[in-house]
A and B are shown apart, each in its own frame.
Chain A
């Protein structure tokens, strides 16, 4: 970043050696500063901007398939102009519809809400909030971004090949995706091979980044920063990284074996496949095995998405309410409980695959248990704003919106997690409504809260509040308008191109059109956010002073100068004396963590 040659980089933490020297004073080139940067702040921006790009792409895909779902009998000639043979006569083809939903899921789950969310905030906040000059390994950190970038390029390329991108669902179940040469449909060809290559690189990214985050948090905390003095953002990001490290390898194994089936005609997932009366030579595999491997990551993945949002929201709500987070210890313990339980609930995605009913019962038990730590978190957030002095800024609004969404979406999880009820609801629009609210919209709200809150830290300027609040209300109202009524489509199978073949399902066409109109409006509101973001980088209101703490927050990132520099702090890194949530106590509105305790004052 903007390294000033005059800055002293003498001390690297209190507990390690001193090396003051010239090697830090080298001139940075454009390439090392903006492209192959090893600075956590720049890498965080790279993740965020790449994530925003993917967010727009993923959102646009959803608008395209919402056109089909909202008006299944209409044609849109402009689609043919842009999409050619995939939308002949202005109607999205059946194949391409599946490609759209597949890539929408893949992009948003992995590239936006994992790469974009975790990547951005772990990079930005971990070194800043624990009082470190950078990550444990800035080089591995740089590599992780470039693996992410390469994975992104490969995924994006798959849109431009003749047979189109992957189209077998983001869950990539075999045999639909398990046989390359049979070319059952568009998307089971090269597009899906690219999908696997992209995912493999993405997983490498997640592992490299995760190991780095865990190492940094455990080893590089500044003096006085005990684990129980960590802001909840860091707890959440630490747990996210642990979940990722332990679960992503299962997916890597799963997709590599899948590619073996496709390229080498092995039979890991295939058995007795008969196509048009021809028995193929696959013997002895099981498609269910893939489902187990996939969901062994797939379910923890939703916690990888939502945990950083938990952390961000806890921090933002406390700061903007001028009040300590309610029940800090309970928050940490409930995060830990979610971390553990997240590994033993995966088969609730498989209640109707014919798995042993005993297994179904066990997974019902653990799945519903996860509601307990989730409920504790919700009550504690509500407890945090109770009797606070809430500054309703864009960041605070999005944090409140997050809690609202998390409640709405989380509650329907209690229905879906119950195996006997899930028989009817499995793979229907009810599920789509549930997970979009609880891990889609909610995670986005967490991300927006984080961006509005830490934008001044990233760029030394505020984002435009007015635009931020328009963005908030349109998104909040719009998201509920799309996904609340979707719950009434209980029993309508998902991933249907049209419901016209069924009398049973064909009764919601007006509602589908309404949801599509709202979806377009919500999408435009997200573009407004993108406009606001880039506008504010250059024209946003500047922070005043050399050191500014715009939200009057306790955490260490605001003790660093507004002018970002390599190493974060000129001179010594701060020492921590306090808990991060000392708001409205001790006669002060806020008490930054680096302010020594007054005589007689107790720590938390």
Chain B
């Protein structure tokens, strides 16, 4: 579904990603792993068009997206839950979710998708009229995920959903994402620093180090890998 090859990107004169290749298929949860500063978020920004790649290709269902605008890519169904959530804190929960409907199709299906989002995260329904900034960190992360679901993703990208959250909340969020991958056959790209959690939920994974893919394989193979154990799991 998504096939990235030889992706190179950065900010101005500073290059961050050197040569990134990976793929995600429908119905699959793929983890992109790496420590702080490895280039994970830059990769997300390059795939979603918020940073213009300097080389390489990003193919989504056969269409080249590498030079396209973030809006164009969003319209193709690549929706992200960004790092740091990026919700609208002074707007209500419901207004935040409304903002997730970014085009005609998603606006037409809004009430149906809102029900789905509320079913996944009932807390949000209780707090629909509350300002988003008054929610707890976990609820804000749920809101960011729910906002992405309103956009009817075909590829859902989660950037560091575990950051600063209690483990059980992270589990809930990852369960929703992997449930959607299996049930609705969407592709999920999980970008994480918490490798244990990510590999527990993912089918396959890639490890980024210094802007390059250092390792790849099934979740089991990566969990068993000596380098991963030593460098990331502290075993």
Q: Tell me if chain B binds chain A.
A: no
Q: Which residues of A contact B (CB under 8 A)?
A: none
Q: Which residues of B contact A (CB under 8 A)?
A: none
